[in-house]
Amino acid sequence: MKTNSRKKIFLAFCLGIMAGAAAMFCAGLLYLRHNLVLRGNYPGVTADDLDDALENEFPAGTGWHAVREDVSMPLPRDGRPLFHWRLYHRDHARALIDDSRRGITLSPLVTTAVSVTADPDDGHAVVARLNPALLGVLFGGDAGSALCSEVAEEQSALFDAMADAIRSKKATRKEPEP
């Protein structure tokens, strides 16, 4: 009788472990699905304005570089523009690649894919990019987690600064001269 009771306890324990693992897997998928891509909305700025700023007026002295990606992506059916860019920072790239044990593993994190499009409702610019902080945590290591968080913050600040510069240019153009 005791062995039958032990078998039931062991079976319940194994089923509990499997149910917990399945729940963690589902929670992880939901977390990744909602956090893997960062989305930035920039009211008062059009996708064309932001694309032009990335190409011609990219902030100098930041260490960041933007390279246009000419890919054969289909455009949205509603005719909205869709621009693709790669952002990279030489110093951050060096730190990721120099990680002797994980350099080749972390090398895809050197550039961040960025898409710029227009919001279908009001036409303001929307920027979608991979979340480097989350990718750094997933890949792990000192360079991966700490550096990728810094990269995410710098990229957000960079797009905010570009959008503010575009808005201020538009505001100065609209002011009537006395």
Beta bridge pairs of residue 40 = 127
115 and 161 in one domain?
Answer: yes
80 and 6 in one domain?
Answer: no
Domain that holds residue 29: 1-35
Tokens representing residue 137 in the block: 């945590």
Q: What pLDDT, on a 0 to 100 scale, did the predictor assign at position 127?
A: 92
Number of domains comprising the chain: 2
For residue 84, the number of C-alpha atoms closer than 13 Å in the C-beta half-sphere is 9
Q: Which residues have CB under 8 Å from 146's CB, separation 6+?
A: 136
**CATH code at position 140:** 3.30.310.70
Residue pair 54/116 in contact (Cβ under 8 Å)? The answer is yes
Q: What is the pLDDT along the chain (178 residues), one digit of tens a residue?
A: 566 788 888 888 999 999 999 988 888 777 777 788 888 899 989 999 888 888 887 777 788 888 888 767 777 888 888 888 888 888 877 777 776 565 566 666 677 888 898 888 888 999 998 888 787 777 766 656 666 778 888 888 888 988 888 888 888 876 555 5
Q: What is the Cα–Cα distance from 98 to 105, expressed in whole angstroms?
A: 11
Crossing angle of the two packed helices 148-174 and 132-139, in degrees rounded to 10: 180
45 and 10 in one domain?
Answer: no
